[in-house]
Chains A and B, each alone.
Chain A
Amino acid sequence: MSAGPLLEVSGLRKTYPGVVANDDVSFSVGPGEVHALLGENGAGKSTLVKMVYGLVRPDEGRMTFAGQPYAPSSPHEARSTGVAMVFQHFSLFEALDVAENVALGMETPPPMRTLAASIREVSETYGLPLDPSRLVGDLSAGERQRVEIIRCLLQDPKLLIMDEPTSVLTPQEVGILFDTLRKLQSEGTSILYISHKLEEIRSLCQGATVLRLGRVVGSCDPREKSARELAELMVGTELTAPAVRAGAPGPVALKVDKLSVASPSEFGTALREVSFEVREGEILGIGGVAGNGQDELLGALSGEIGTAPGAVALKGRDIGALGPNARRRLGLLAAPEERLGHAAAPDMSLVENGVLSAWVRKDLVSRGFVDWKRARRYAEEVIAAFDVRTPGPDNAARSLSGGNLQKFVVGREILQKPEVLVINQPTWGVDASAAAAIRQALLDLAGEGAAVVVISQDLDELMEIAGRFAALNEGRLSAARLTEALTMEEIGLMMGGAHGMEVAHV
């Protein structure tokens, strides 16, 4: 092996119709280096690594791997060269077991029996215990990621790409993952690490390349920079923290008492005796790793899932049997996580999407007919108030970028002046400045006396805006505690600690 870089990328460019995803991107990763790719959502990090992994072909530019020209035409080729990738989404099969999932990610898998044995061996060596015969659909998010990592490790990769690996982990699980990565690094494996979590990068990486709008805007040694400097490099502007309005919480607005609900989906999580209450003027943050009952909780509160009598009460009134529109009429609004297909109908215009949720409270329907003039005015109002970037309210929801649509669906609920707002993942996939605007809007809403329940996997977000914090773990909700008094360690334990990893020995 030469002493030069393991992977060298120079002048990569990739365009999609109407969008330049990457333009003149160059960087290099040395042998045994953990190199970070930093950037906001939409900065082009994912496209870039897809080109390294052979999923997308660059329009221009060259790559070399260990000194040799490298232009993979498929992931098979990338894997046989020694590049492995841990995906953030989309690469596991829920109905197949762990061993089958691992076999699908290997070039020449051994027979199933030997494979199961080597999965056990590798998982023990790296402190990632895993049973090869379990169905992936039954695993927690952290365990699923272990499947992906082990799939990569079984092929002795020279370069391991990790796309946002910690977004689904509890703080304890992050610690174990980092131990594994450092062990790999000490064995000479290079790691290309994508994230927008700056503290992680500062503690793990030796080099960083920062992307903004598809271009490299800087490279640095993250250990020598502060998180704030990195953030400003990433966003390009100075960040302002949202202003919290202090105010004494009022009477209880929403009370949930021993709510148990079966999940409507096959691999979902049932809620078990969830109890909490939110007061007027207060934000309650509900954290937890994805897939621990968040969707079910939102469904039970919004009225999509009916509940037992007495389990959900709005201002003392039992609303368990009421549907979403009846609850809207009473002042309880909800914004689900999935933007396309749940919060918004993808092929309908913003005006129509506005009518779908706001007609009850904004009087957009008279005598059975939609009042399109008012509906249009309402959509325009949302667009103006939340700075939604779109040519006009008649554009289909699908045509908006994720962040802009998110601003629209959140704004649509907030402008209805809810008395209680339940919102799941309010800033998921939204860039930093838009996220700050949404958080500010939630704080303002609470300041005006509404009770707000924010369900989120972004702990920093919850710490920033919520007065009290509770965590969902396998369908159970911990007791709510004041956020100011909480440490990361305690939060991790509330989220269930390291799921099934206590036996790990690294």
Chain B
Amino acid sequence: MFGSIDPLVLIASLMVASTPILLAAMGELVTEKSGVLNLGVEGMMIVGAVAGFITAVETGSPALGFIAAAVGAAILSALFAVLTLVFLSNQVATGLGLTLFGLGVSSLMGQGYNGVRPPSSPRVTIPGLSDIPVFALHPMVYISLLLVVAVWWVLRSTRPGLILRAVGESHDSAHALGYSVRGTRFAAVLFGGACAGLGGAFLSLVIVPQWTEGMTAGRGWIALAIVVFASWRAWRVLLGAYLFGGVTVLQLNLQAAGVAIPVELLSMSPYLITIVVLVIISSDRRRAAANAPASLGRSFHASS
């Protein structure tokens, strides 16, 4: 029954399908490593999707679209940062509010863009390699992979990465040593927003490519879950995102191949499998917590 599925094509399409979640999850990883829990990923993604879509349609340039997506979602995340870091509002409630706000604002902005086709992006062509499906994808796919390497390296080996981890681990200690807790967290939240925006734009400009209300369809939540699943490690985020993307693509292929499983079951399988894996991974509470930023979700107020 798998005879009709070409493995290379399958891998190529899973890479594409995973990219929005990978981008959003990498951004959220950095945000959470600084000790901020931003539950507004879904809202930032969809604002990125609509901002990127409108810009690309109006200017005819997909590259400008991606930039606008990053900027637009970063602006939304700045709102979150001001509320939680300056006015010390509750991060969970504010994050949920951000998602609802993002969904509403995006459908308002997207009115009149339903059914429009965005300009298509040029593919990278490497002579000799472009016949292989895996090497002929949209540039953002490779950028997202570079992002994984960059985040991993920055967090592990550089001083800004060390300070970021220190702020997420103990904001009181970081403050006592003279590091700016608020500044570090603000930057991390903006980075998370920009990444989520890129993920959203990849969805509306490359995968679908079209604007529909609510088109992120829970991918922001999956990205949040993957960060926990990955126990805050960059490489495991990649693994988690590709696992989810893989199941998504596989179920589509199985549907196309006419497997006798109800379509509804197949389409919910990626979510189901992600939940099951999350539960298994998180069952050992001590191990799951071992790499979690100790100050995650706690408001910081310099009292001294």
Contact = CB atoms under 8 A, between A and B. Distances in A.
Q: Do these two chains really belong together in a complex? A: yes
Interface of A: 50, 54-56, 74-76, 79, 87, 90-96, 100, 103-105, 109, 112, 266
Contact of A104 (B162, B289, B293): B162
Given A50-B304, A103-B159, A266-B290, A96 B165 contact: yes
Contacts of B291: 95
B169 A95 contact: yes
Nearest to A105: B177
Size category of the B interface is 20 to 34
A347 to B, nearest CB: 15
A415 B179 CA distance: 46
Interface string B37-68: 00000000000000000000000000000000
Given A96-B166, A266-B286, A90 B172 contact: yes
B225 interface: no
A54 B175 CA distance: 11
Interface string B163-182: 10110011011101111000
B294 interface: yes
A75 B177 contact: yes
A90 B173 contact: yes
Contacts of A75: 176-178
Contacts, number: 58
B176 A55 contact: yes
A94 B162 contact: no
A100 to B, nearest CB: 6
B197 to A, nearest CB: 30
Contacts of B304: 50, 55-56
Given A56-B304, A266-B290, A93 B178 contact: no
Given A90-B172, A104-B179, 10 more contacts: A75-B177, A91-B176, A93-B165, A93-B174, A94-B169, A94-B170, A95-B165, A104-B163, A104-B177, A105-B177
Contact of B162 (A50, A76, A90, A103): A103
A55 B178 contact: yes
24 contacts: A50-B304, A55-B176, A75-B176, A75-B178, A76-B178, A90-B172, A91-B176, A91-B177, A92-B170, A93-B165, A93-B166, A94-B169, A94-B294, A95-B169, A96-B162, A96-B165, A96-B166, A100-B162, A103-B159, A104-B162, A104-B174, A104-B177, A104-B179, A266-B289
Nearest to A75: B178
A54 B170 CA distance: 20
Contacts of B293: 95
Contacts of A87: 176
A104 B162 CA distance: 8
Contacts of A93: 165-166, 169-170, 173-174
Contacts of A104: 162-163, 166, 174, 177, 179
Contacts of B170: 90, 92-94
Contacts of A95: 165, 169, 290-291, 293-294
A74 B174 CA distance: 12
A110 B206 CA distance: 45
Nearest to A109: B159
A93 B289 CA distance: 15
Nearest to B285: A266
A310 to B, nearest CB: 27
Interface string B54-88: 00000000000000000000000000000000000
Contacts of A54: 178
A100 B170 CA distance: 14
A-B interface, 10 closest residue pairs, ranked by CB to CB distance from nearest: A75-B178, A93-B169, A90-B172, A91-B173, A91-B176, A74-B178, A76-B178, A95-B169, A90-B176, A90-B173
Contacts of A100: 162, 165-166
A100 B163 CA distance: 9
B7 to A, nearest CB: 40
A6 to B, nearest CB: 21
B183 to A, nearest CB: 12
A87 to B, nearest CB: 6
Interface in B266-304: 286, 289-291, 293-294, 304
Interface centre among A74, A87, A100, A266 (most CB of B within 10 A): A266
